Structure 1
Amino acid sequence: AEIEYSIVDGDGSDVFDIITDKNTQEGIITVKKQLDFENKMLYTLRVEATNSHLDPRFLQLGPFKDTAVVKISVEDIDEPPMFSRPSYLIEVDEDAKEGSIIGEVVAQDPDITKNAIKYSVDRHTDLDRIFNIYSGNGSLFISKPLDREETPWHNITVIATEINNPKQSSQIPVFIRILDINDHAPEFAKYYETFVCENAKAGQLIQTVSAVDKDEPPRGHKFFFELVPEFAVHPNFSIVDNKDNTAGIMTRRNGYSRSKMSTYLLPVIIFDNDYPIQSSTGTLTIRVCACDSRGNMQSCNAEALLLPAGLSTGALIAILLCIIILLVLVVLFAALKRQRKKEPLIISKDDVRDNIVTYNDEGGGEEDTQAFDIGTLRNPEAREESKMRRDVIPETIFQIRRTAPLWENIDVQDFIHRRLKENDSDPAAPPYDSLATYAYEGNDSIANSLSSLESLTTDGNQDYDYLSDWGPRFKKLADMYGGEDSD
């Protein structure tokens, strides 16, 4: 049999519904609306079950349906805190003092336990830490001065958290509007380049000025213009307030001379109408120029042209950047040029150069027996084996050369030449850094000693007659010593 279920009565007919399970023919109760344990904890339903397909043969047996009472109990769960509003809008004056309270947010635990709540400000929405909140009661206060001209609105987020269960928390947006106060003075809307013609007439309009103010009064701006008290009666110019936040600069006499005065300075006071009243003084620079008959400027004094001319901060920065870029380019060009001129230490792998080591040492002469052996010169017939030098320790042990045997009774000069030739042709001869010089003075002389020192050893007179036999070169000496001493 197919059974159809329905809710026929009860206080939860608008909150619950019932359907039939096609497989088991059981009634399934579903929820149609959000349940709230704190508002209603128990619901009573009257459910009716009816046989949807009746057999006509059994109609007289009575109604084929039945009813039952169903009671539904709602269980409590821990819910996050709930704020009293979906959002908060707070207005605060721009001149509010630090620490002053600007508003309050309220949240509570919807559970029966009514856990205590603590409040905090999400610092991601208040990086400058301008606002703070008392954690116990949700009162917002100011931590830093406010500036409406810089930031007119602040959008922060307040977090409410259960103290017993920190996982249960909720957030609420708070919009803070900064109300303007009159704390800025009006000033000229721009820099005015004003000139007056030399042929100007009295009462002629030469410039119209206007003003701006950073403040935003609720009734709009209203500015007033006048000359400073010291120049209230200016002999050359006057100012006329147009009553529409502008003023006109008028001439007060006929004709102006550049040779006498090329530039005039006219101080003007600008007031606003808000409370407290703010004012500032701006100075107009008026140049005297030559004009045509229509009043068009043709030329001005050089001093008057240069006086108001000024470079803005952006222009100065641009000029400095250009100068820095030029200096960098010059330095880079010089570095590249120097790098091109510099030759590499080794041009290629094949370019291998010798290192020359110079020792400025001087030999010790014949008495230096460590440098060489003079005995070879004194005894040419002696046969000498090649020896390593005794005064220098070579880095590499060279193989000892075997010299060819010398002939008997060889001349010393020929011996030296042969030794020199052997050393020049020997590839294993080390290039020592000391120089040994051998000198050969020839064979013995047949002449006896000419020293007069030996004359003291003889008692008698010396015989110098043999000097005459030596030839005409010794004739003078034979005449001096050869003859007998005359009485």
Structure 2
Amino acid sequence: MSVPESVPVGSVVGRIWAKDRDIGVNAEMKYSIIDGDGRDTFDISTDPTNLFGIITVKKPLNFEKKPSYTLKVEGANTHLDPAFRHRGPFKDVTIVHVSVEDVDEPPVFDLPAYYIELPEDAEVGTMVKTVSARDPDAANNTVRYSIERSSDPEKYFYIEITSGSLMTVRSLDREQIGWHNITILAMEMNNPTQIASVSVAVKVLDVNDNPPSLTHYLETYVCDNAKAGQLIQTVTAVDPDEPLGGHHFSYSLAPESPTNPNFTLRDNQDNTAWILTRRGGWSQKDQTVFYLPITVTDGEQPVQSSTSTLTIKVCSCNPEGNVMSCTAEAYSLPASLSRGALIAILACIFVLLVLILLMLSLRTHRKKPYLCDEEENVHENIVRYDDEGGGEEDTEAFDIAALWNSREAHHNLAKMRQDMLPEIESLSRYVPQACVMGGGADSSVHGYVLAKLLEADVDPCAPPYDSLQTYAYEGEGSVAESLSSLQSGASNTDHEYDYLNDWGPRFKKLAEMYGVLEANIPPTW
């Protein structure tokens, strides 16, 4: 028979049967392995019917160590009839050959598990251990090593892929992680599905690298009625290190204050120390808080020490030593000013501040009296145009484009004014046409000025103030030509003013002043 080498222990690998040839005789067979090189590897038993022998595996099979076995099996009839006893013996022997089939198996480590001890001050890159695994098959494939990352999430270790050398890649700290349980994987190069694993336990050994320190409470008190030599506090220390012989702490006052006039320290040589008073007569009026620096040293190598400050408050106590008050508030107040008076003064100050804020708020929110636009805009508006031209701000009063060029005056009047309301602009229709039609080009200017005058007279929203405009611009193309005083003063000769009659009715008054009034000038408006 053939059996794979990977068959589990206890599996059935074969069955044999022996038959009694005597007719009418009930056979109850018993099977056993009496000889052969496989009697330690295989076992045989009788089935419940007492007819068959069942062969099972007793030990793991290994094709590379032993590819085949021979079994000498005996079958005997245990139920004998006395009438046929003389025909015996009623048993038989047979030879069973077992062939082990080769199966591709995963690598096998040289040890089922590894245990390593490593000091916590080991340098980065220290080789911890070299693990070894081989392919048990005849092919003897190359094995590659790796670390299962779930077993080393912080990545403290690294393994060389071909040699199996395990080394550190980070500094170890026993106080943080005392044990590292990592899993090493071995994989066949030619068949990645064949993977074996082994556990490696790394114990981090303690090194005295942490100083001791006082326990978490660093504050105590002394009663104001304490006497000299009185115990006020027992101090202890802690150390994260764990030396093999246990902790041995020693206490002393810090070197900067070895002769403290208020307190002294007594080392009890049992990892504790007492803080005692040196004097009596404690008073909160003199000093309420004392600071006592204490140095703690361990007994390991290298020696580590630290200094912590103990805060001691002066408190008022009853005769039994129970604390009543640890504040100096009552002593800080003047003798003539009680606590109730101080509270009353503060309350008065607060009320005054509230009243001041209320008055400021009312003054800020007081409403201003209503003023119409006409009252707010009452002012004198005088716009003056000098010979050289006015500034930019004077253009807000009137549009004087019509005075610059009389030929464009009629065109400008035809356009809709942007600064005139439609009902005001329409007032130009009421200007006497006789005056407008008789003046020629400058009659357009005359109509424009009259329109502005009528607009000011009938506008109900016009402010009650006088507006004076003086136009003295030497407009190009004007029928009056230049009126510049510089030019007129250039000659001492007398001027002829007959041309004033040609300017129309608007300049009648001017013509009368210079004595050139003609009878044919039409009457003024």
TM over 0.5: yes
Q: TM-score, normalised by structure 2?
A: 0.53
SS state of the match for residue 124, structure 1? helix
SS state of the match for residue 261, structure 2? coil
Whether 2:55 is the aligned partner of 1:38: answer no
Match of 1:73 among 72, 94, 99: 99
1:406-425 deviation per Cα after TM superposition (whole angstroms, max 9, x unaligned): xxxxxxxxxxxxxxxxxxxx
Counterpart of 1:132, as a letter, is Y
Instruction: Tell me the residue number matched to 2:26.
Output: none
Match of 2:145 among 119, 124, 128: 119
Structure 2 CA distance for partners of 1:281 and 1:51, relative to 1, 3 Å: closer
Counterpart of 1:129, as a letter, is K
SS state of the match for residue 258, structure 1? coil
Whether 2:150 is the aligned partner of 1:159: answer no
Counterpart of 1:43, as a letter, is Y
SS state of the match for residue 150, structure 2? helix
Whether 2:283 is the aligned partner of 1:257: answer yes
1:134-192 deviation per Cα after TM superposition (whole angstroms, max 9, x unaligned): 12222211111112212212221110111222211111122222111111111111223
Instruction: Tell me the residue number matched to 1:107.
Output: 133
Is contact 1:194–1:286 with CA below 8 Å preserved after alignment? yes
Counterpart of 1:189, as a letter, is T
Is contact 1:2–1:51 with CA below 8 Å preserved after alignment? no
How far apart, in 2, do the equivalents of 1:18 and 1:268 lie? 80
SS state of the match for residue 97, structure 1? coil
Counterpart of 1:2, as a letter, is K
Is contact 1:264–1:287 with CA below 8 Å preserved after alignment? yes
Instruction: Tell me the residue number matched to 1:134.
Output: 160
How far apart, in 1, do the equivalents of 2:303 and 2:79 lie? 91
SS state of the match for residue 173, structure 1? strand
How far apart, in 1, do the equivalents of 2:164 and 2:292 lie? 56
Match of 1:234 among 239, 249, 260: 260
SS state of the match for residue 101, structure 2? coil
Structure 2 CA distance for partners of 1:68 and 1:231, relative to 1, 3 Å: same
Instruction: Tell me the residue number matched to 1:2.
Output: 19
Structure 2 CA distance for partners of 1:6 and 1:285, relative to 1, 3 Å: closer
Q: CA deviation at 1:119?
A: 1.1
Is contact 2:288–2:328 with CA below 8 Å preserved after alignment? no
How many residues are matched? 315
Q: TM-score, normalised by structure 1?
A: 0.57
* Residues 433-452 of structure 1 mapped to structure 2, 5 A cutoff: none
Match of 1:245 among 254, 263, 271: 271
Structure 2 CA distance for partners of 1:361 and 1:31, relative to 1, 3 Å: farther
1:367-388 deviation per Cα after TM superposition (whole angstroms, max 9, x unaligned): 99xxxxxxxxxxxxxxxxxxxx
Q: CA deviation at 1:29?
A: 4.8
Q: CA deviation at 1:242?
A: 1.0
Q: CA deviation at 1:365?
A: 6.0
Structure 2 CA distance for partners of 1:206 and 1:12, relative to 1, 3 Å: same
How far apart, in 2, do the equivalents of 1:92 and 1:107 lie? 23
Structure 2 CA distance for partners of 1:6 and 1:256, relative to 1, 3 Å: closer
Q: CA deviation at 1:292?
A: 3.0
Structure 2 CA distance for partners of 1:366 and 1:130, relative to 1, 3 Å: same
How far apart, in 2, do the equivalents of 1:34 and 1:18 lie? 16
SS state of the match for residue 256, structure 2? helix
Whether 2:227 is the aligned partner of 1:204: answer no
Whether 2:113 is the aligned partner of 1:87: answer yes
Whether 2:213 is the aligned partner of 1:182: answer no
How far apart, in 2, do the equivalents of 1:189 and 1:47 lie? 78
Q: CA deviation at 1:107?
A: 1.9
How far apart, in 2, do the equivalents of 1:72 and 1:126 lie? 45
Match of 2:295 among 256, 265, 269: 269
How far apart, in 2, do the equivalents of 1:209 and 1:285 lie? 12
Q: CA deviation at 1:290?
A: 2.8
Unaligned runs of 5+ in 1: 306-359, 369-455, 458-487
SS state of the match for residue 313, structure 2? strand
Q: CA deviation at 1:210?
A: 0.9
Unaligned runs of 5+ in 2: 1-17, 21-28, 332-419, 430-518, 521-525
Q: CA deviation at 1:50?
A: 6.4
Identity percentage over the alignment? 51
Structure 2 CA distance for partners of 1:62 and 1:151, relative to 1, 3 Å: closer
Counterpart of 1:254, as a letter, is G
How far apart, in 1, do the equivalents of 2:74 and 2:36 lie? 12
Is contact 1:262–1:288 with CA below 8 Å preserved after alignment? yes
1:295-325 deviation per Cα after TM superposition (whole angstroms, max 9, x unaligned): 33333343799xxxxxxxxxxxxxxxxxxxx
How far apart, in 2, do the equivalents of 1:196 and 1:53 lie? 101
Match of 2:316 among 290, 293, 306: 290
Is contact 1:157–1:173 with CA below 8 Å preserved after alignment? yes
Instruction: Tell me the residue number matched to 1:449.
Output: none
Structure 2 CA distance for partners of 1:234 and 1:362, relative to 1, 3 Å: same
Counterpart of 2:163, as a letter, is N
SS state of the match for residue 121, structure 2? coil
Match of 2:37 among 1, 4, 11: 11
Is contact 2:210–2:239 with CA below 8 Å preserved after alignment? yes
How far apart, in 2, do the equivalents of 1:29 and 1:15 lie? 11
Q: CA deviation at 1:267?
A: 0.6
Q: CA deviation at 1:209?
A: 0.9
